[in-house]
């Protein structure tokens, strides 16, 4: 379709022309033609021109100046130099020949009797005709894709139309190269062998493009080229349009269709984003109202739920996922919710795992209404299913984003709408307590928290510390450096049912060290390890110390040996 230097020899008036040097550049594209009137012609050209000259302006040039002149033309991407000999010069100078060979810039010699117009007119006519064809093709393609956009045909129809226009299959991928639409399912999966800049084809498109050499496993071991056109729109949403060069080579004219398709797909993406934003706002508002019991009319709630496909006949558990970046950056702190790429990744992973339910993004958390079978009476089994799925989600995410912690809190199953706020509160408590008790990447269900479920009902810390028994209070009042070691030993000792050997094994210390510490604890506190009621009180007190967490540094013992929190 494009006019190349090699095509000049098909013009009748150039039958006697021949290539003096620079044969490697005969595939250079010609985009214009002009005559050299002065040695500084390089300053007035745009690139791609065919230059006609009698070398009259260069008669005084020596060997080095001739080479420098050709170098300037090559820098400007001149397609070829046509020299008319016989009037001012009889032969093309050696400096020009040597430089043209080195720079692959064709030098073509024509007889002096050929007028410039007999060279220029056919070239300009060919360029004009090809430009008219291009404009006509652009108009047809543009109208086609505009119609597809206005009639909401979608990406599948756009990809199919593009394939018909360019004669090669096409596939649309998401950001992570997951297939969205394709015209040949055998080409969706590929193994990249090599990524290279496009060469041999000039692409005047607004979209960047690169070429890959790939193997399609479903098509055997043959190596193919395909072109990747990344399309990015608002909010960093990105898709990839891939043209599989399996039927014929991609031609420059094909990029007119590809560019129009990319533009149409970009508009389609923006449209879907705008619709999704409205739907998400509608969905988020409904979830917030359900979790906070902000509704008066159940019929209105059911109507709103029906619009977004939320089946309120199911039972739901509220599940909270919280991200914590171990290596925070300034950009992370500036992006909240789904604007944060890592939270969007977690959102997408949950979507894939969630059979039914809804997800709501909120700051550094994702609130999930996890749908369960309404006939499932075994709450323990339901919770187990959710925990297993949550751990799977956690593992998949951590493989992709290892610099994050993911904590999960799971509330009890809510069989009615009125129970959802309670499940939400339980999920919040599970998230907080799970992190305190189990550390980072904890997956905690409210039903597994034991006595912590009771303790977390007490809202004020000063009321909570009233339940710390006197014996443990005395240990807290012990002001020696090893106090924390004694508290840790006591907690571990009671956890292992007063088994000193297992306690020593967990604490990585000697058996005698444990017995010494327990004897010291008895001296300080007067604790009776054989009194089950006192042991229960001490264990509750130890759990309270876990609950108050960072506040325990402000925990003091007054003159009456009563624990108080210093504000």
Q: What is the DSSP string of 455-490?
A: HTT---HHHHGGGS-HHHHHHHH--STTHHHHHHHH
Contact between residue 372 and residue 316 where contact means Cβ atoms under 8 Å apart: yes
Is residue 134 in a domain? no
Q: Check whether residue 440 and residue 506 sit in a common domain.
A: no
| pLDDT number for residue 326 | 56
Q: Check whether residue 468 and residue 435 sit in a common domain.
A: no
Token pair belonging to 432: 């907080």
- Please name the residues in contact with 391: beta carbons below 8 A apart, sequence gap of 6 or more: 443
Q: Check whether residue 259 and residue 181 sit in a common domain.
A: yes
Distance CA 158, CA 388 (A): 41
Given a cut of 70, whether residue 433 has pLDDT beyond it is: yes
The DSSP bridge pattern shows strands 49-53 and 404-414 to be: unpaired
Q: Check whether residue 167 and residue 116 sit in a common domain.
A: no
Is residue 133 in a domain? no
| pLDDT number for residue 294 | 87
The pLDDT tens digits for 304-325 are 888 888 888 889 999 999 988 7
The dihedral through the CA atoms of 171, 172, 176, 178 has a sign that is negative
Q: Check whether residue 226 and residue 247 sit in a common domain.
A: yes
Token pair belonging to 118: 């007999």
What's the gap between Cα 302 and its chain centre? 35
Distance CA 556, CA 567 (A): 10
Average pLDDT score over residue span 187-213:
71
Q: Which of 223, 419, 399 is nearest to 316 (CA)?
A: 419
Full domain range(s) for residue 389: 311-453
Contact between residue 358 and residue 369 where contact means Cβ atoms under 8 Å apart: yes
Average pLDDT score over residue span 456-476:
77
Q: Which of 266, 165, 173 is nearest to 226 (CA)?
A: 173
Residue that wins the pLDDT comparison between 479 and 492: 492
Cα-based distances in Å from 181 to 119, 187, 235, 258: 49, 11, 22, 15
What does the DSSP 8-state code read for residue 498? Answer: T
| pLDDT number for residue 337 | 58
The pLDDT tens digits for 194-205 are 766 544 344 555
CATH number at residue 382: 3.30.70.270
Is residue 138 in a domain? no
pLDDT band at 475 (very low <50, low <70, confident <90, very high): confident
pLDDT band at 376 (very low <50, low <70, confident <90, very high): low
Lowest mean pLDDT among 241-245, 455-459, 473-477, 505-509: 455-459
Q: What is the DSSP string of 333-362?
A: HH--GGGSHHHHHHHHHHHHH-SSEEEEEE
- Please name the residues in contact with 208: beta carbons below 8 A apart, sequence gap of 6 or more: 229, 230
Q: Which of 425, 453, 481 is the last residue of a domain?
A: 453
Average pLDDT score over residue span 546-563:
59
**C-alpha dihedral (545, 550, 551, 552), degrees to nearest 10:** 40
Compute the residue count for the chain: 567
Task: List, in sequence order, the alpha helices (H) in 217-340.
Answer: 254-291, 298-307, 330-334
With a pLDDT cut of 70, the percent of the chain lying above it is 89
| pLDDT number for residue 397 | 92
The pLDDT tens digits for 113-131 are 888 888 888 888 888 887 7
DSSP run (H or E) holding 518: helix 511-525
Q: Check whether residue 80 and residue 119 sit in a common domain.
A: yes
Token pair belonging to 44: 């007035």
Is residue 82 in a domain? yes
Distance CA 246, CA 187 (A): 9
Q: Which of 79, 110, 125 is the last residue of a domain?
A: 125
Is residue 360 in a domain? yes
To the nearest whole number, what is the mean pLDDT of the chain? 84
Distance CA 428, CA 29 (A): 67
Is residue 306 in a domain? no
Lowest mean pLDDT among 70-74, 496-500, 537-541, 547-551: 547-551
Strand blocks (E) in 40-142: 49-53, 80-84, 107-110
Residue that wins the pLDDT comparison between 202 and 443: 443
Q: Check whether residue 436 and residue 474 sit in a common domain.
A: no
Residue 85 DSSP SS3: coil
CB neighbours of residue 150 within 10 Å? 10
| pLDDT number for residue 161 | 94
Given a cut of 90, whether residue 432 has pLDDT beyond it is: no
Contact between residue 330 and residue 432 where contact means Cβ atoms under 8 Å apart: no
Is residue 344 in a domain? yes
Distance CA 322, CA 406 (A): 6
CATH number at residue 538: 1.10.10
Q: Check whether residue 10 and residue 100 sit in a common domain.
A: yes
The pLDDT tens digits for 283-295 are 889 999 999 988 8
Q: Which of 125, 143, 163 is the last residue of a domain?
A: 125
Cα within 13 Å of Cα(427), Cβ side:
30
Residue 195 DSSP SS3: strand
| pLDDT number for residue 187 | 94
Q: What is the DSSP string of 27-79?
A: TPBP-EEEE--STTGGGG--SSEEEEE-SGGGTT--HHHHHHHHHHHHHTT--
CATH number at residue 107: 3.40.1390.20
With a pLDDT cut of 90, the percent of the chain lying above it is 30
Contact between residue 25 and residue 80 where contact means Cβ atoms under 8 Å apart: yes
**In the chain, how many domains are there?**
4
Q: Check whether residue 384 and residue 347 sit in a common domain.
A: yes
DSSP bridge pairs for 153: none
The pLDDT tens digits for 13-57 are 888 889 999 999 999 988 889 888 777 877 778 888 999 988 888
Average pLDDT score over residue span 464-487:
84
DSSP run (H or E) holding 381: helix 379-400
Given a cut of 80, whether residue 138 has pLDDT beyond it is: yes
What pTM did the predictor assign?
Answer: 0.51
Q: Check whether residue 439 and residue 477 sit in a common domain.
A: no
Is residue 200 in a domain? yes
Contact between residue 564 and residue 462 where contact means Cβ atoms under 8 Å apart: yes
| pLDDT number for residue 190 | 92
What's the gap between Cα 330 and its chain centre? 18
| Interior angle at CA 506, CA 500 and CA 508, nearest 5 | 95
Distance CA 506, CA 318 (A): 35
Q: Check whether residue 30 and residue 114 sit in a common domain.
A: yes
| Interior angle at CA 400, CA 396 and CA 404, nearest 5 | 90
Q: Which of 321, 315, 294 is nearest to 414 (CA)?
A: 315
Average pLDDT score over residue span 82-110:
89
Q: Check whether residue 474 and residue 509 sit in a common domain.
A: yes
| pLDDT number for residue 469 | 85
CATH number at residue 226: 3.30.450.40
Contact between residue 173 and residue 194 where contact means Cβ atoms under 8 Å apart: no
Please name the residue that has the structure tokens 């004669």: 167
| pLDDT number for residue 435 | 79
């Amino acid at each position: 379709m494009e006019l190349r230097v090699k095509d000049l020899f098909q013009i009748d008036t150039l039958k006697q022309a021949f290539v003096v040097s620079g044969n490697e550049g005969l595939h250079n594209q010609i985009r214009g033609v002009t005559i050299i009137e002065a040695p500084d012609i390089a300053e007035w050209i745009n690139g791609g021109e065919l230059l006609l000259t009698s070398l009259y302006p260069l008669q005084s040039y020596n060997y080095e100046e001739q080479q420098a002149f050709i170098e300037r033309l090559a820098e400007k991407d001149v397609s070829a130099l046509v020299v008319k000999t016989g009037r001012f010069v009889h032969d093309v100078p050696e400096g020009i020949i040597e430089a043209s060979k080195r720079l692959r810039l064709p030098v073509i010699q024509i007889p002096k009797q050929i007028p410039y117009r007999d060279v220029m007119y056919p070239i300009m006519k060919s360029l004009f005709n090809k430009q008219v064809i291009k404009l006509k093709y652009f108009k047809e393609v543009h109208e086609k894709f505009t119609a597809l956009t206005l009639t909401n045909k979608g990406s599948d129809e756009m990809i199919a139309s593009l394939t018909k226009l360019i004669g090669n299959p096409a596939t649309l991928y998401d950001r992570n190269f997951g297939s969205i639409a394709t015209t040949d399912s055998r080409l969706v999966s590929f193994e990249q062998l090599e990524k290279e800049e496009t060469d041999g084809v000039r692409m005047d498109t607004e979209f960047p493009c690169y070429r890959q050499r790939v193997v399609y496993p479903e098509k055997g071991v043959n190596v193919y080229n395909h072109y990747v056109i990344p399309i990015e729109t608002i909010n960093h949403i990105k898709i990839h349009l891939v043209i599989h060069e399996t039927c014929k080579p991609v031609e420059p004219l094909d990029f007119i269709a590809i560019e129009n398709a990319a533009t149409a797909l970009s508009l389609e993406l923006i449209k879907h984003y705008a619709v999704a934003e409205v739907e998400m706002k509608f969905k988020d508002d409904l979830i917030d109202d359900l979790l906070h019991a902000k509704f008066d009319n159940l019929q209105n709630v059911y109507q709103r739920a029906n619009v977004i496909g939320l089946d309120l006949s199911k039972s739901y558990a509220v599940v909270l996922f919280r991200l914590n970046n171990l290596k925070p950056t300034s950009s992370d702190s500036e992006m909240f919710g789904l604007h944060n790429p890592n939270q969007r990744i977690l959102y997408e992973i949950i979507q894939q795992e969630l059979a039914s339910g809804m997800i709501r993004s909120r700051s550094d958390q994702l609130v999930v209404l996890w749908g369960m079978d309404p006939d499932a009476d075994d709450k323990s089994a339901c919770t187990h299913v959710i925990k297993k799925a949550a751990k799977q989600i956690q593992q998949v995410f951590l493989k992709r984003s290892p610099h994050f912690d993911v904590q999960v809190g799971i509330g009890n199953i809510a069989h009615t709408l009125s129970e959802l706020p309670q499940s939400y509160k339980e999920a919040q408590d599970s998230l907080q307590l799970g992190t305190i008790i189990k550390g980072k990447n904890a997956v905690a269900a409210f039903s597994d928290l034991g006595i912590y479920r009771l303790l977390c009902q007490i809202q004020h810390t000063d009321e909570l510390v009233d339940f710390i028994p006197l014996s443990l209070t005395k240990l807290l009042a012990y002001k020696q450096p090893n106090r924390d070691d004694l508290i840790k030993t006591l907690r571990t000792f009671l956890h292992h049912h007063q088994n000193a050997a297992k306690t020593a094994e967990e604490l990585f210390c000697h058996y005698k060290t444990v017995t010494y510490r327990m004897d010291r604890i008895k001296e300080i506190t007067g604790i009776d390890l054989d009194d089950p009621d006192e042991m229960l009180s001490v264990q509750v007190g130890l759990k309270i110390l876990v609950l108050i967490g960072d506040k325990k540094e402000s925990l003091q013992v007054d003159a009456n040996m009563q624990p108080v929190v210093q504000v």
